[in-house]
Structure formats: C-alpha cells, structure tokens
C-alpha cells in the first residue's frame, strides 16, 4: 500500500481484470471523482509480489487460499 498509495478498501476490492502486468499498473480508486479508475503504477520492488498474487485462484487480487 505504501508503494501504490491505495487505501485498504481499494486494495481488497481490486479485481484482477484491472491489473495490467505487462504495463506495470492497475486501475483503481474509490473515494473521489478524480481518483476513480486512475492508473496506479507498480514500483519495481512490488512487481514480483503483484505477479505472484495474480497467479492465485480467484477474481480479486487479494484472495484467500481457497479463492475467496
């Protein structure tokens, strides 16, 4: 969250369809009109973590081991 600037809720509702690994960013935001659907770039340090989260089952970036 520190490297992206997203809030906890934004991270928990982030769907994998909003993550663009090749371009190294995701689209998100929920609080303000200007902040909604904004591009959120990945720092090089967190890119491996995002890549591993994308490989887990489920529709959301943050999931439990059972896919929920």
- DSSP H or E segment with residue 8: helix 8-12
DSSP secondary structure, 38-62, as one string: EEEEPPTTTHHHHHHHHTSSSSBSS
Question: What digits encode the pLDDT tens for the residues 37-53?
Answer: 889 999 999 999 999 99
Asked whether the predicted pLDDT for residue 63 surpasses 80, the reply is yes
Say what the pLDDT of residue 19 is: 96
The whole model's pTM is what? 0.81
């Amino acid at each position: 969250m520190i490297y992206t600037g997203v809030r906890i809720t934004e991270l928990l509702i982030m769907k994998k369809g909003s993550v663009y690994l090749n371009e190294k960013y995701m689209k998100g935001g929920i609080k303000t009109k200007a902040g909604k659907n904004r591009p959120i770039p990945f720092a090089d340090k967190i890119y491996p973590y995002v890549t591993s989260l994308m490989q887990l089952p489920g529709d959301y970036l943050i999931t439990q081991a059972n896919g929920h």
